[in-house]
Amino acid sequence: MKTNPSPHAHPEEKQTPKHFILKLYVAGQSPKSIKAIANIQKICRENLHGRYELEVIDLYERPELAQADQIVALPTLIRKLPPPLRRIIGDLSDTERVLVGLDIEKA
């Protein structure tokens, strides 16, 4: 169990570094929103050099997207790519767990 995944995962990730498409839904300028935006931007900058797209959406401005993207809680970060779809809710203050949650190799 311990030996098997690591040799497999290791060469794969090195060969084709994954491209990340992330969406962050926030609610206007609330403290949680501002924190979340700052946190994710920092994580992406530091760990995903140039291989990510981050879209920050203010749900107040585009409420129609809530239904399509199944938004209930805010802030919500959605990892559209690579699959599978992942969601993280909250202000993303725990960087380590965000990295694990999004399955990002720490740089």
Partner 1 sequence: MVKPKQHAKTNQSAGLQKSPTGITGLDQITGGGLPRGRPTLICGGAGCGKTLLAMEFLVHGATRFNEPGVFMSFEETARDLTQNVASLGFDLNDLVAHKQIVLDFVYIERSELEANGEYDLEGLFIRLGAAIDAIGAKRVVLDTIETLFSGLPDPIILRAELRRLFRWLKERGVTAIITGERGDGTLTRQGLEEYVSDCVIVLDHRVSEQTSSRRLRVVKYRGSTHGTNEYPFLINADGISVLPVTALGLKHTVSEERISSGVARLDAMLDGRGYYRGSSVLISGTAGTGKSSLAAHFADAACRRGERALYFSFEESPDQIIRNMRSIGIDLQPWVKAGLLQIHAHRPSSAGLETHLAMKHKLISAFKPQVVIMDPLNSFVIGDNEIEVKAMLIRLVDFLKTEQITGLFTNLAPGGNPVEQTEVAISSLIDTWLLLRDIDSGGERNRGLSILKSRGMPHSNQIREFLLTDHGVELRDVYVGPEGVLTGSARLTKEAENEAAKLIRNQEVELRQIELERKRTTLEAQIAMLRAEFAVQEIASIKIIGQETAEKAQLAQGRVDMGVSRKVDAMPNKQKKSDPQ
Contact 89, 98 (CB under 8 A): no
C-alpha–C-alpha distance, residues 56 and 106, integer Å: 22
When asked if residue 56 is in the footprint of partner 1 (CB under 8 A), the reply is no
Residue 41 belongs to what H/E stretch? helix 31-47
Instruction: Choose one: 1-9, 13-21, 45-53, 86-94; the region binding partner 1 (CB under 8 A).
Output: 86-94
Q: Select from 27, 34, 54, 56 the one that contacts partner 1 (CB under 8 A).
A: 27
Q: Are the C-beta atoms of residues 38 and 29 closer than 8 Å to each other?
A: no
Q: How far is the CB of 66 from partner 1 (least distance, A)?
A: 4
Amino acid at residue number 4: N
Provide the binding-site residues for partner 1, judged by CB under 8 A: 25, 27, 30, 32, 35-36, 59-60, 63-64, 66-67, 70-76, 84-94, 97-98, 101
